[in-house]
């Protein structure tokens, strides 16, 4: 059984995919973003790379002329991590994240990869791409590592204060992602709550329980936090506040465990010898808990493929993010979600600006970068 997180790769023989990378985003942009994207692109000439940002600053981190499948797209502004994201996205129309999103909207790119402010990424996607018909709120999904392989966990930071209906929609989108990207047949779905019993948990969890019980999804009920390391379901759904705290806790714990092991091996004289015997197993564990291999979190529910990676991402993780973005674009997740959620005959919702004025967008983006 493959216990490691899936690091998607572009399909051989598939149509060319064009990825717009927000070169100015993240704690280490543009240098680490540019170098990571370029390193990956050089090894994948079948994928077109569009580096979006201040051309002079981007060129400062290029080693020689651009390959034929790479081009620069000028963006004179960027959204800083400390800015109010929704306000900055509205005010800075030439921000790199906005320019990248518009490339997808116009059909010049198939996916956006950004390490910038999560709130800005969500707000820009809503403003420039719009939501899919049948989706009230988008959600960020990630693969959680367990002792029985990864499962899809959402929402980890796109929108807070979700309703029961929102959670039910997240479940549908997560199931589609699990089936189409991870290859899980008829994925099981669960809600993260304070107890396994149906009557426990917040009102929104109880509302979502009723809604999911009436769908064709393989809904198995509630799971608790203690169940997460043991693959309780193929898809686990929760509100963004719960999801974000959970994902960051696991990220911290994995580092803590390896730090403890390292310290223990150094405490006794025979530690180095013991380490030699355990090294293969420890290496396998490190690969399984290597969150950089995930690339990032796809933003599900918007009219385009958007991959939001870690705000602290450096060149190695940007490479994985490129691969994940290409795989998500090839899987045509937005179209599949739209087909599953929309009424019969309805098409994908067109881009609308007013959605950015809704109170939940302001409340969510004001709270800062959730997935970073």
Count, residues in the chain: 372
Residue 286 domain flag: no
Whether residue 17 contacts residue 28, with contact meaning beta carbons closer than 8 Å, is answered with no
Which residue, 98, 32, 140, 37, is CA-closest to 369? 140
Residue 210 domain flag: no
Could you give the angle at the alpha carbon of 47 between the alpha carbons of 6 and 297, nearest 5°? 35
Which pLDDT band holds residue 272 (cuts at 50, 70, 90)?
confident
pTM score, two decimals? 0.84
Residue 258 domain flag: no
Residue 22 domain flag: yes
| Per-residue pLDDT tens digits for 188-219 | 999 999 887 766 778 899 999 999 999 999 99
Domain count, the chain: 1
Q: What is the average pLDDT score of the chain?
A: 84
Q: Which of 151-165, 310-324, 333-347 has the lowest mean pLDDT?
A: 333-347
Over range 221-240, report the average pLDDT.
93
- Residue-range definition of the domain harbouring residue 322: 15-135+301-372
pLDDT at 287: 66
| Per-residue pLDDT tens digits for 14-64 | 678 999 999 998 888 899 999 999 999 999 999 999 999 999 999 999 988
Residue 322 pLDDT > 90, yes or no?
Answer: yes
CATH of the domain at 354: 3.40.50.10950
Say what the alpha-carbon torsion angle 209, 213, 217, 220 is, to the nearest 10 degrees.
70
Other Cβ atoms less than 10 A from the Cβ of 93: the count is 14
Q: Which of 29-43, 194-208, 259-273, 290-304 has the lowest mean pLDDT?
A: 259-273
Residue 197 CB partners (closer than 8 Å, separation 6+) = 222
H-run or E-run covering 113: strand 111-114
Over range 114-118, report the average pLDDT.
91
Residue 250 domain flag: no
Residue 177 domain flag: no
Residue 161 domain flag: no
Residue 79 domain flag: yes
């Amino acid at each position: 059984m493959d216990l490691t997180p899936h690091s998607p790769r572009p399909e051989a023989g598939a149509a060319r995919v064009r990825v717009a990378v927000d070169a100015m985003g993240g704690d280490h942009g543009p240098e680490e973003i540019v170098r990571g994207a370029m390193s990956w692109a050089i090894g994948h000439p079948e994928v077109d790379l569009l580096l979006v940002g201040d051309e002079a600053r981007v060129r400062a981190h290029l080693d020689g002329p651009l390959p034929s499948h790479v081009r620069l797209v000028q963006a004179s502004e960027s959204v800083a991590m400390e800015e109010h994201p929704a306000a900055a996205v509205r005010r800075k129309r030439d921000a790199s994240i906005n320019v990248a999103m518009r490339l997808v909207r116009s059909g010049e790119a198939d996916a956006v990869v950004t390490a910038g402010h999560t709130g800005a990424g969500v707000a820009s996607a809503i403003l420039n791409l719009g939501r899919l018909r049948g989706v009230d709120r988008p959600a960020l999904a990630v693969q959680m590592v367990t002792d029985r392989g990864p499962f899809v966990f959402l929402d980890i930071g796109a929108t807070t204060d979700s309703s029961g209906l929102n959670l039910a929609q997240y479940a549908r989108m997560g199931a589609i992602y699990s089936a189409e990207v991870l290859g899980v047949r008829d994925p099981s779905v669960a809600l993260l709550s304070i107890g396994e019993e149906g009557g426990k948990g917040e009102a929104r969890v109880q509302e979502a329980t009723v809604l999911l019980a009436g769908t064709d999804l393989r809904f198995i009920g509630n799971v608790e936090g203690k169940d997460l390391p043991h693959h309780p379901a193929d898809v686990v759904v929760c509100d963004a506040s719960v999801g974000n705290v959970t994902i960051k806790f696991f990220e911290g714990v994995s580092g803590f465990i390896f730090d403890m092991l390292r310290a223990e091996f150094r405490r006794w004289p025979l530690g180095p010898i013991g380490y030699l015997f355990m090294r293969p197993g420890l290496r396998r564990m490190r690969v399984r808990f290597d969150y950089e291999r995930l690339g990032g979190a796809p933003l599900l529910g918007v009219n385009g493929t958007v991959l939001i990676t870690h705000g602290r991402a450096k060149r190695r993780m940007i490479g994985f993010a490129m691969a994940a973005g290409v795989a998500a674009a090839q899987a045509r997740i937005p179209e599949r979600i739209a087909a599953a959620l929309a009424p019969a005959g309805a098409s994908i919702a067109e881009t609308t600006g007013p959605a950015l004025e809704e109170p939940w967008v302001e409340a969510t983006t004001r709270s800062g970068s959730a997935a970073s």
